[in-house]
Amino acid sequence: MGDFNKIVHIDERKEMNNLSTSAEDFRAWIIDMELVDLTLNDRKYTWFRDQSCSRIDRSLVNLEWLHTYPDTRLRGGPRGLSNHCLLIVEDRRMVQGSRPFRSLNSWFTHQGFLRMMKKEWRGLGDAQFLDKLKALSKLLGRWHKQHFENIPEKIKKFEEEIKKVDDIVSIGIYDATVEARRKALVRCCELWYTRKDIHWKQISRSQHAKEMDRNTRYFHNIASARRRNNRIESLVINGRLVRNHARIKVAIRDLYRKLFQQEASPNIIFRDGLVNRLKMEEAQALEMPPSEEEVKDVVWDCESSKVPGSDGYNMNFIKKCWEEIGVEFTKAVMTFFETKKYQ
C-alpha cells in the first residue's frame, strides 16, 4: 500500500492517451502476483500538482486477504498540504437486508431437482403465472438450504472421508468394499466440486467463463470484486453526503418511483424532423400478438445467464423447466399483448 508512481489504466491520469511500457509492466506484475488492486470509489485521483492529476497511490492485496476480510474497502482521506491523498483501508460490514432470490444453475446437477420443481409447480394450482413464480421462489429457497447450503463444508467432509479410507488402505486393509466406498466418495466429491465451479462462474458473471478451465478461485475473486464495486456506501442527497444505509435505500426507491410513474407530459412537443413517427402499418405490426413459436424462439435466443425481470429467475431456469412452465409462460406473454391491445 502506498505511492507506486505508476498508473495501470489510461483513465487514472488526466488527459492520458496511452500507457507507457513501464505502466504495462506494472500491470502485468500485479496479474502475475495474483494481487487485487482495491477499487477507490469516492475519488478518481490521489495525486495532484497544479493541473496534473493521477491515481498513483493504491492498495494491493492477495486473495487470501479478501477471503479473510471479504468486505475490505478503500477510500480516500484528506490531502492537506501534501500532493497525495490519504488512503484508508477498512473492513466495513454493512447491513444489506434480506438476500434476494436467485435461481442457480448448479441446482440442475441434482438428479431430483426437476422432479421436485414439477411437483411443487403443479401443487400451486391455477394461480397466475407471476404469482406462482413468486410462491415457487420461497419453496426453492428452502430446498436450496436443505441440499446446497455451505458447499465448501460438504466438500471438506467428503475429503475427510476419503482420507479415512486412504488411511485404512495404508495399513494394509484393502478389499472390494473399501474400493467401492472410495470410488463412491470420489464421485460425490467431484460432483460437489463441479457444483462449486458452476456456482461461482454464475455469480462472477465472467465473460470468460466458457473459455477458462476450472478455477473457482478466479471466479470467486471476480464475484467479490463486483460485489464490492456495486455497493453504494454514500450518496449525495439534496446537496448533503449521506452514509446512513436506511436513508440511501429510501432515496433510491423514491428516485425510481418518480422515474417510472406514468403521468401525462403536456410539455412534450412533437415536431417534424425531431421525432420519427411510425406509420400505421408499422404500429399495427408492433402491436400484433406473437405466435407461440415466436415466444419460444425469443426465449432460446436469450443468453441463459440473463435475468429478464426482478424475480431472480434467469433464462437458463426458464429453458430447463420449459416442459413444465412453457405453456403458462407463453400464455402470460400473450395475455400481456392482449391487455395492451384494449388499453
Question: Where are the chain's structural domains?
Answer: 2-91
At residue 180, what are phi and psi to the nearest 5 degrees?
-65, -40
Query: If 0-12 CB within 10 Å is exposed, 13-18 middle and 19+ buried, where does residue 200 land?
Result: buried
CA max distance for the chain:
90
Cα–Cα distance measured from residue 198 to residue 205, given in angstroms and rounded to the nearest whole number: 11
Provide, rounded to the nearest whole percent, the portion of the chain with pLDDT above 90: 29
Mean pLDDT across 12-23 = 89
What's the confidence (pLDDT) of residue 107? 94
Average pLDDT score over residue span 37-50: 86
pLDDT band at 269 (very low <50, low <70, confident <90, very high): very low
Query: To the nearest whole number, what is the mean pLDDT of the chain?
Result: 82
Could you write out the DSSP letters of every residue in 146-176?
HHTS-HHHHHHHHHHHHHHHHHHHHTT---H
Nearest partner of 155 among 122, 196, 115, judged by Cα: 196
pLDDT of residue 94 exceeding 80, the answer is no
Cα–Cα distance, 253 to 232 (Å, whole number): 13
| pLDDT of 96 strictly over 80 | no
pLDDT, position 114? 94
Mean pLDDT value across residues 184-209: 78
Most confidently predicted of 77-91, 267-281, 328-342? 77-91
Q: Which residue bears the cell 492537506?
A: 80
- Residue 93 identity (one-letter amino acid): R
pLDDT band at 121 (very low <50, low <70, confident <90, very high): very high
341 vs 181, residue with greater confidence? 181
36 vs 162: CA distance, rounded Å: 34
* 312 CB neighbour count, 10 Å cutoff: 17
Sign of CA pseudo-dihedral 295, 300, 301, 302 = positive
Residue 213's pLDDT band (cuts 50, 70, 90): very low
Measure the CA–CA gap between 193 and 144, rounded to whole angstroms. Answer: 17
Q: Are 97 and 77 in contact (CB under 8 A)?
A: no
Residue 134 to residue 318: CA distance in whole angstroms: 14
Mean pLDDT on 163-167: 87
Report the topology of domain 2-91: Deoxyribonuclease I; Chain A (3.60.10)
pLDDT tops 70 at residue 17? yes
The verdict on pTM exceeding 0.85 is no
pLDDT above 70: residue 288: yes
Q: Pull the grid cell for residue 55.
A: 491515481
- Strands 235-237 and 240-242, by their bridges, are antiparallel
For the segment 101-114, the average pLDDT, to the nearest whole number, is 92
Residue 201 has pLDDT above 90, yes or no: no
Mean pLDDT, residues 8-25: 89
The pLDDT of residue 321 is 94
Q: Are 223 and 203 in contact (CB under 8 A)?
A: yes
CA-only gyration radius of the chain, Å: 27
Q: What percent of the chain has pLDDT over 70?
A: 83
Q: How confident is the model at residue 301 (pLDDT cuts 50, 70, 90)?
A: very high
- What local confidence, expressed as pLDDT, does residue 232 receive? 74
